[in-house]
């Protein structure tokens, strides 16, 4: 028995070392690409480094990163949340109603918007485990359901008379040109790092994604982990929704339709696996930076909006290709 252990341990150590090298290379490669891309754009478009553009870029980055985190959490257990935009707009309209319609204090209204997002995500998770239908189909259906219900309840009317103190949240800066919304994103990133690295439920979510059957046989509550992942995803979509409301100084029912593409791009570029079992919070942050810088640069270079969508689509295809390679290699060396 001791001989068997001594044989396995060096092999496991080798696997851990290989995994570390792959992940470090992914993060380091993203950082280098971002640096090169930023340098190229800054040389071609001098306005890229202007205070106005840096504020707009970092404000968009803060929101896009949280949207990416919302998808990353469900990808951890091998699921999808195609309703991320509909949940976000639901939280937006709920926050607007609580602020303008009911006149609630700002902290209470924000809490209500976040609770709305978390409830929608929880409902997605419950539907998945109760019906046994794949989350792709469930969230595709609820995306339409949530959005339609929101339009019915609000009659598609925006809330534009929000308190001035709330609107300030979207205009504050720090260190000169940078949006203060980055603090919210930083807090969310830290919370997710703690969730997946140090909490029991975080490890259960990852185990459910890596091998649901093995996780269930070992006693892990797989169904509960799936529901929690969807609820957290809904909560984060709600956070992004509240941030968008503060940025626009209004609760608009038209927001959220374009969230799906960036929600997948950031985590997939960052190293999160589509098949589940592994996430990268730092990688997702870098993936969001890359996408935001690319979008911003294309706009500054006066590339047409249709071409911007074309390049985003190409980027997603590259991200999916990288995911397939990572998944294959991880299975080959026994990491998943």
With CA atoms as reference, report the closest residue to 129 among 234, 224, 236: 224
Cα atoms found within 13 Å of the Cα of residue 189, Cβ hemisphere only: 20
Residue 217's CB is within 10 A of a number of other CB atoms, namely 10
Q: What is the longest distance spanned by two Cα atoms in the chain? A: 73
Structure tokens that stand for 114 in this block = 């976040």
Taking the CA of residue 26 as centre, how many other CA atoms within 13 Å lie in the half-sphere pointing to its CB? 28
How far apart (Å, rounded) are the C-alpha atoms in residues 144 and 167? 29
Q: What is the pLDDT of residue 1?
A: 36
Residues in the chain: 336
**In the prediction, which pLDDT does 323 show?**
62
Neighbours of 179 (CB within 10 A): 25
269 touches 282 (CB < 8 A) = no
CA atoms within 13 A on the CB side of 230: 28
275 three-state secondary structure: coil
Reported pTM: 0.87
- In the prediction, which pLDDT does 17 show? 54
Q: Where do we find the tokens 């998808």?
A: 71
> What are the distances in angstroms from CA 75 to CA 52, 165, 272, 273, 299?
35, 36, 7, 7, 30
pLDDT in tens, the chain (336 residues): 333 333 333 333 344 555 555 566 667 778 888 888 889 889 988 888 899 999 999 999 999 999 999 999 999 999 999 999 999 999 999 999 999 989 999 999 999 999 999 999 999 999 999 999 999 999 999 999 999 998 888 888 889 899 988 888 888 888 889 999 999 999 999 999 999 999 999 999 999 988 888 888 888 899 999 999 999 999 999 999 999 999 999 999 888 888 988 899 899 888 888 888 888 899 999 999 988 998 888 888 887 777 777 877 787 777 777 666 666 665 555 545
How many angstroms separate the CA atoms of 275 and 222, rounded? 15
CA distance 177 to 173: 6
- The SS3 call for residue 251 is strand
pLDDT at 3: 37
Instruction: Give the start-to-end residue ranges of the domains of the chain.
Output: 47-256
pLDDT recorded at residue 5: 33
Residue 313's Cα: distance from chain center in Å? 17
Nearest to 142 by CA among 157, 155, 127: 127
């Amino acid at each position: 028995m001791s001989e068997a252990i001594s044989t396995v341990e060096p092999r496991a150590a080798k696997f851990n070392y290989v995994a570390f090298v792959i992940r470090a290379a992914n993060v380091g490669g993203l950082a280098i690409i971002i640096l090169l891309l930023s340098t190229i754009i800054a040389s071609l478009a001098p306005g890229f480094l202007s205070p106005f553009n840096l504020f707009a870029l970092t404000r968009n980055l803060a929101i896009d990163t949280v949207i990416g985190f919302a998808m990353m959490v469900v990808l951890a257990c091998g699921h999808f949340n195609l309703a991320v935009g509909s949940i976000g707009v639901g939280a937006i309209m709920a926050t607007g109603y609580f602020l303008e319609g009911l006149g609630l204090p700002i902290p209470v209204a924000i809490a209500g918007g976040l609770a709305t997002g978390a409830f929608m995500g929880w409902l997605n998770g419950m539907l998945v485990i109760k019906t046994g239908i794949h989350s792709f189909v469930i969230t595709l259906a609820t995306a339409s359901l949530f959005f339609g219900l929101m339009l019915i309840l609000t009659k598609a009317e925006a809330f534009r008379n929000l308190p001035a103190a709330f609107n300030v949240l979207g205009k504050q800066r720090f260190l000169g040109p940078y949006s203060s919304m980055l603090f919210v994103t930083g807090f969310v990133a830290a919370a997710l790092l703690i969730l997946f690295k140090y909490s029991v439920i975080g490890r259960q979510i990852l185990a459910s994604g890596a091998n649901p059957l093995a996780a269930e046989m070992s006693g892990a509550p797989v169904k509960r982990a799936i529901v929690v992942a969807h609820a957290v995803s809904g909560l984060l979509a709600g956070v992004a929704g509240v941030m968008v409301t503060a940025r626009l100084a209004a609760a608009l029912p038209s927001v959220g339709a374009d969230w799906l593409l960036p929600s997948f791009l950031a985590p997939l570029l960052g190293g999160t696996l589509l098949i589940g079992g592994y996430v990268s919070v730092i990688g997702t942050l870098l993936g969001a930076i890359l996408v935001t810088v690319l979008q911003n640069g294309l706009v500054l270079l006066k590339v047409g909006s249709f071409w911007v969508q074309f390049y985003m689509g190409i980027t997603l295809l590259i991200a999916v290709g990288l995911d397939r390679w990572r998944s294959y290699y991880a299975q080959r060396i026994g990491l998943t």
